[in-house]
Amino acid sequence: MTEGGKEIERLIELMARLPGLGPRSARRAVLALIKKREMLMDPLARALAEVAATVRECEICGNIGTGPRCAICLDPKRSDTELCVVEDVADLWAMERGRSFRGRYHVLGGVLSALDGVGPDELRIPRLIARVEEGAIAEVILALNATVDGQTTAHYIADQLESLPVELTSLAQGVPVGGELDYLDDGTISAALRARKRL
Amino acid sequence: MTEGGKEIERLIELMARLPGLGPRSARRAVLALIKKREMLMDPLARALAEVAATVRECEICGNIGTGPRCAICLDPKRSDTELCVVEDVADLWAMERGRSFRGRYHVLGGVLSALDGVGPDELRIPRLIARVEEGAIAEVILALNATVDGQTTAHYIADQLESLPVELTSLAQGVPVGGELDYLDDGTISAALRARKRL
């Protein structure tokens, strides 16, 4: 295929490796970039190079940012007594979109998985325990995904923190806001029933 | 939203402008890039900058490439007597994936559209006429999209080339290879019926 030369083919091939893009949509994206060179391609090339050069993990929580500490850890208005544990940065962003948590985060960087050979030391679990041992945190909220590995990880963390004077909670399970019962899986319905509330 | 700082937010915003990506998939793509910085983000930033710096329109046909003339116009093995007229570079690439056309191309850069104020001079129609007038071309194949604007453009070009000693053809309309009649629109079925062939 002679799609406009080696450089363009290489760009298409790299774009196709992004999640959500395949070879066809990568081609469309590259053509759109070439059409809008000044409005889109040049700024995107600059933004990518800039982020690639500056992005780093926050030394406290594992969130990404452009300094040694992330914007959330540096924010003086957030509470130091609540710590929300998430699997990865995407989950942290999802929590932030909820706009109701005003404490700090701890990003594990994955979940325990015997199959993939991921043990506690591959994740930020030792650092989580160290943060809790410092004593300022009153509540640890486990916001791990409701998958088998996520729940295994939650149980492991609960075991490790048991002896420390900290309250351990997890996100409620139930019917999503706006969700229709008819479209929900059985597990969610029975979890919502077990956790039913008095009106 | 404090999604890891201004630079990352700007990158997400730019990625979200690509066709096929929205804000959510742009976030996912940026996180994947940050996770695979050396394998994906750095090479992509370099490839983008390189293409942005070198890509240009072929001075003959309007295809994109990295020199004054594109790879197809430079290919000595292709026939100079057949010229395939397409709307844009994506259509040229689609024709090339068909692997059966071995002539040259002419990319119009769009279609005539009274609504959008696109006249013949906004497209590469004058250059198409000039190419045909040079005399080497025996057949012009109009491979324009089967849309109203595409067909209007095809008729306009046919009018302009009428007085020149060149054969004008267009792509056949009919049932797509592997297509099921039940899923085809009525227009395609009746076009395929009108163009039916003896076995």
The residues with which B88 forms a beta bridge, in sequence order, are none
Q: Pick B11's closest partner by Cβ from A10, A37, A51.
A: A51
pLDDT digits (tens, 9 = 90+) for B160-195: 999 999 999 998 888 888 878 888 888 888 888 888
Which residues fall within 8 angstroms of residue A52, CB to CB, at 6 or more apart? B33, B37, B41, B42, B45
CB A19 within 8 Å of CB B48: no
- Distance of residue B192 Cα from the nearest chain A Cα, in angstroms: 27
User: What three-state secondary structure class fits B84?
Assistant: strand
Measured between beta carbons, which residues in chain B are less than 8 angstroms from residue A69?
A: none
Count the neighbouring beta carbons within 10 Å of the beta carbon of residue B71.
16
Where along chain A do its domains lie?
A: 6-54, 64-198
Are A48 and B11 inside 8 Å of each other by CB?
A: yes
Per-residue pLDDT, B192: 82
Q: Pick B4's closest partner by Cβ from A7, A48, A63.
A: A63
Are B89 and A4 inside 8 Å of each other by CB?
A: yes
Matching CATH number, A64-198, of 3.30.70.360, 3.40.1360.10, 3.40.50.2300, 3.40.630.10: 3.40.1360.10
Per-residue pLDDT, A192: 82
Cα dist from B101 to A8, B72, B74, B141, B191, whole Å: 22, 11, 16, 10, 23
ipTM for the predicted complex: 0.79
The residues with which B82 forms a beta bridge, in sequence order, are B139
In chain A, whose CA is at the least distance from the CA of B98? A1
Per-residue pLDDT, B165: 93
**Which residues 51-80 of chain A have a CB within 8 Å of chain B?**
51-52, 54-55, 63-67, 70-72, 75
- Distance of residue B46 Cα from the nearest chain A Cα, in angstroms: 8
CB B56 within 8 Å of CB B50: no
CB B78 within 8 Å of CB B89: no
pLDDT digits (tens, 9 = 90+) for B87-121: 999 999 988 888 889 999 999 999 999 888 899 88
Per-residue pLDDT 10s for chain A (199 aa) are 455 678 899 999 999 999 989 988 999 999 999 999 889 999 999 999 999 998 999 999 999 988 899 999 999 999 999 999 999 999 999 888 888 899 999 999 999 998 888 998 899 999 999 999 998 999 999 999 888 999 999 999 999 999 999 999 998 888 888 878 888 888 888 888 888 888 7
The pLDDT of residue B76 is above 80: yes
Closest CA to A173 of A156, A185, A161: A185
- Which residue has 């009108």 as its token pair? B194
- Distance of residue A61 Cα from the nearest chain B Cα, in angstroms: 12
**Which residues 148-187 of chain A have a CB within 8 Å of chain B?**
none
- Say which CATH topology domain B6-54 has: Helicase, Ruva Protein; domain 3 (1.10.8)
pLDDT digits (tens, 9 = 90+) for B118-168: 998 899 999 999 999 998 999 999 999 888 999 999 999 999 999 999 999
In chain A, whose CA is at the least distance from the CA of B40? A14
Helices (H), chain A: 6-15, 23-35, 42-54, 71-74, 89-97, 125-133, 148-161, 186-194
Distance CA A85, CA A53 (A): 27
Closest CA to B58 of A36, A34, A27: A34
Per-residue pLDDT, A111: 92
pTM beyond 0.90: the answer is no
What is the Cβ-side half-sphere exposure of residue A94, based on CA atoms within 13 angstroms?
Answer: 15
Distance CA A29, CA A11 (A): 10
Quickly list DSSP for B136-167: ---EEEE---SSHHHHHHHHHHHHHHTTSS-E
